[in-house]
Chains A and B, each alone.
Chain A
Amino acid sequence: MHEMSITQGVVEICESTAAGRRVLSVVLEIGELSNVIPEAVEFCFEACTKDSGLEGARLTIERIPGRGLCRECAEEFAVKAYYGSCPSCGGYHVDIISGEELRVKELEVE
């Protein structure tokens, strides 16, 4: 359940950005290959924001789909998991170009 540490990181970033103002909403970007479950972050968010400047803030999570670039044939394709092979040549030498994001995108303060 490393989502608890992840969510604590979110709260720290938001509090430092908000600099004392109350945070009304937070938008996160969580890649599909990031090893983080959005539902678990939502679950932790309520606990982590209690008695903080984020208490009651609305949480929106945007998923970023995995994309890979084949090192063998330069095909770009959707990656659902790290063991996915290139649909064009079948190779496994794939560089992940998106889907590992774990970011606080924006927030709304009072």
Chain B
Amino acid sequence: MLENSYDLAKEVIFTLSGKAGVTGYEHRLYPSLEEIFGSLDCHLDRDFMGNFYAGKKGDDGKLSVMLAAHMDEIGLMITHIDNRGFIHFTAVGGIDGRTLLCQEVIVHGKQEVKGIISSVPSKVQSNNAKNAIDISKLVIDIGYPKDIVLSLVKPGDIISIKRTPFMLLNEKIAGKALDDRAGIAVLAVCFNELSKLNHRHNVLAVATVQEEVGLRGATTSSNRLQPDLAVAIDVTHAQTLDTKSQVSIQLGKGPAITVGPNIHPKIFTELTGCARESRIPYQVQAVAGETGTDARVIQLSGQGIPTGLISIPLRYMHTSVETASLGDIVDSGKLLACFIAGLPEDAEDLLCC
């Protein structure tokens, strides 16, 4: 176990970001998750849907606190292979087709095959092109003749973006799938910090599946756990040069704590209180309706579950160069640990609306 949460967060992200775990095909992440959370002395479990559970018993274990961060990432899926051996594909999750041209990918067929996304027609830059190339006009070139292509891959096989994470200035980290592997790093930091604190209540962290196509893993895992309260950890848009009028959350200014009808007001108050007490910088994100995160479905599970949401500011979401601040990630984990450790023995009062 790494004592230093900063190093831990960095290691978790560098371990997970480059790995392929496209929605519905998250199983390739299990070995890494087992190693990360096993070394944090968690007891581990999985369910049919593929959700990964890492739990730690509290001192008296009266309540159970569910933490959810999704492990799946957006990706591509083969629809068909044309007569020239090029692979045609569709998106799994919300992919901006404009981010794909000339991108390197890995096709997960009978074996992992490297490929390059090219366009049909493979055009010379033309000044009169009005529209961006549509995803249906993109193909993957894996450099084999058709008969070999057909023996290696088939329709329905998953394709992941190839990208190794790397550091920018100011301990910012860039790579794919930080949405929401950064959230998994927050879970790890939280457990690491909790090991230095006393906590009464049981903590059950879930690396959920299939968030990107409709929060599906969180739906079944919250049904299964039926926790007393829950906190989802996801990413949120951070301001960039071209989103100043749309986004106010800033990268590197601390975790964003959500307030709104999707969030239990007391959990919001507790989280912000914890942040102030522990001198953790934070930003408040007000969401007027449902959030687009696991918190949305967790809140509606069973008889209703008091739910909070901590978001890591992230630039260029759903591209392969998502950019987050390591500081925000570590602070999110610390905040979560403070919150859990500070929960009263009887949370009845706290959670009363």
Is A bound to B? Answer: no
Binding site for A on B (CB under 8 A): none
